[in-house]
Chain A
Amino acid sequence: MRGARVRFGDRLLKAYTWLIILWLVAPIAVMIVFGFNDKQSKSNATWQGFTFKWYGELFAIPDLSGALINSLVIAAASTIITVVIGTMLGLALGRHRFRGQGATNFLVFAAISTPELVMGASLLSLFVSANVPRDRITITIAHVLFSLAFVTVTVRARVVTLDPSLEEAAKDLGAGPWATFRLVTLPSILPGVLAGAMLAFALSIDDYVVTSFVNGSTLTFPLWIIGSVKTGIPPQVNVMGTLIFGVGVLIAIINAVAARRRT
């Protein structure tokens, strides 16, 4: 009897989870649909018929294509850097006691609570003062800065739940620090690291405010789109969004299938 109720509860939770996923994805559906809109003017706000032509003309706007590539490169680079140094910091804060820990926590907190505009504007004055040209590198630096705290906090939330005795045991068995990390620590914190990586990637690829200050003349996907709002976002933007989303879903499916194989 209780078993049946538990299974019912699980099913309810499963349905609920899918409902939330649907809610989050709902606007994406609209975006996908309007990528097929056979619009007659620059405005792409009302449905005017079905066409595939925007898929054919996907790269007809050179600046837009370049902007998308920039966004992907910057998101990948900043995610990798952030995950490495953020995980290290998360480990230090979650596992160890050290001088300056309080101050470090405070800094991490400050990084999250700095309004984006202030972060962007003050980074720009820093770069200008130091005569650093603004390009993809400065954008990446800024993205690492605002993602770092998110990765750190997420990894730390994992680290503090772990039992340090496992690592002790590994060391007692003669494993060096690197081997201990690779074989014991990393696997156990991996969910936190992966979650942090996904957050960092999402933060980077979607950022507008900070990027708009430190980009120099480099364009990213969100920057180009915001600009085109004034005159009408071309459907190619929807198509590119659709492709990003499609690739994502494909990765998810491959992952799910691979996971089924493994079991």
Chain B
Amino acid sequence: MRRLTPYLLALPSWMWLAIFLVVPLAAMASVSLQTGNVIDGFVMTFSFSNYGDALGTYSTQLVRSLGYGATATAAMLLIGYPVAYWIAFKGGNRKSVYLFLLLLPFFVSFVLRTISWGFLLADDGILLGTLKGWGVLSADFHVLATSFAVIAGLTYNWLPFMILPIYVSLERVDPRLVEAAQDLYASRGTAFRKVVLPLSLPGVFAGVLMTFVPATADPVNAQVLGGTGNTMIGNIIQTEYLVNNDYPTASALSFTLMAVLLVGIFVYARVLGTDNVLEAAAR
């Protein structure tokens, strides 16, 4: 019975993922090797060159997306860790209240959030306009339509997905352990580095996985907040699929993106010091 336990626990998810993810992904893999067009139909020609062509045309956008995704993830980690830390250790019995407040903005549609940011960050709006009025900023300064805006948007939109898992693993750490360590090492910094940080690494790993991957693939922020040279790979996939109806190229690009992300996670796991990537993913 005990040997069966993990299989029974995993069974419902397996079924869900097998039917609704594996079958469609297999179909997508097949489509990525087909040629044709939406009017005459697509036929399987094992056209592996779809991958080379797609990558050749859109390598700029792919590299840019990885850069934006990595930068935003680093920003989320730096911004989010102290928040998770404070809620976990000092949140008292209101921990869940704070977490809930962090997530609440995400219960109303991203369209409304985006429109509001446009209003707040307009070139002559209530923030920048005021600062320009005081002479702090030059008249041509703008935030919207820049790569900074895209990265900031990604950071904003996924921040709770970094904070929550870090919180979840930090919350487990006994504060008395930290106090004891502080007495032992006589410095908050050392205590943190030697005791708290290692214990929070599973949460950091989960947080990075849950933010880097979707942020890199995201099409919305580049479209809404970017300027002329900020197109991300998610936008390209969308255009290829919906506008050009070039399903093979869209599929090939998606698989390439997924493969690159997998490699990225692998390298990241190595840096974290875990040899086996799947082992790391399990943590």
A residues contacting B by CB (< 8 A) are 6, 9-10, 13-14, 16-17, 20-21, 23-31, 45, 84-86, 88-89, 91-98, 100-102, 104-119, 121-123, 125-126, 141-142, 144-145, 148, 150, 152-154, 156-158, 160-162, 177, 191-192, 194-195, 198-199, 201-202, 205-206, 208, 221-222, 225-226, 229, 233, 237-238, 241, 244-245, 248-249, 251-252, 255-256, 259-260, 262-263
Contacts and interface: CB of A to CB of B under 8 A. Distances in A.
Contact of B100 (A97, A106, A113, A252): A252
23 contacts: A17-B82, A20-B83, A25-B101, A27-B113, A28-B105, A92-B10, A105-B282, A109-B262, A113-B213, A114-B258, A117-B237, A118-B28, A122-B28, A126-B23, A126-B27, A142-B20, A157-B206, A158-B172, A177-B5, A195-B167, A198-B164, A225-B109, A245-B105
A117 B165 contact: no
Contacts of B120: 26-27, 30
B115 A9 contact: no
Contacts, number: 295
Nearest to B265: A109
B147 interface: no
A6 B188 contact: yes
B87 interface: yes
Contact of B168 (A114, A122, A144, A192): A192
B110 interface: yes
B254 A245 contact: no
B85 interface: yes
A47 to B, nearest CB: 10
Interface string B1-44: 00001110110111011001111110110000000000000000
Interface centre among B28, B105, B160 (most CB of A within 10 A): B105
B104 A245 contact: yes
B93 A259 contact: yes
B281 A92 contact: no
Nearest to A171: B2
Given A195-B168, A205-B107, A27 B86 contact: no
Interface stretch (B45-53, B55-63, B129-137, B197-205): B197-205
B98 A17 contact: yes
Contacts of B165: 153-154, 157, 195
Contacts of B261: 113
Nearest to B209: A153
Interface of B: 5-7, 9-10, 12-14, 16-17, 20-25, 27-28, 79-80, 82-83, 85-87, 90, 92-117, 119-120, 156, 159-161, 164-165, 167-169, 171-173, 188, 199, 202-203, 205-206, 209-210, 213-214, 217, 219, 234, 237-238, 241-242, 250-251, 254, 257-258, 261-262, 265, 278, 281-283
A135 B90 CA distance: 45
A152 B17 CA distance: 12
Given A113-B262, A248-B107, A85 B12 contact: yes
A116 B28 CA distance: 13
Contacts of A221: 109
Contacts of B28: 118, 122
Contacts of B105: 24-25, 27-28, 245
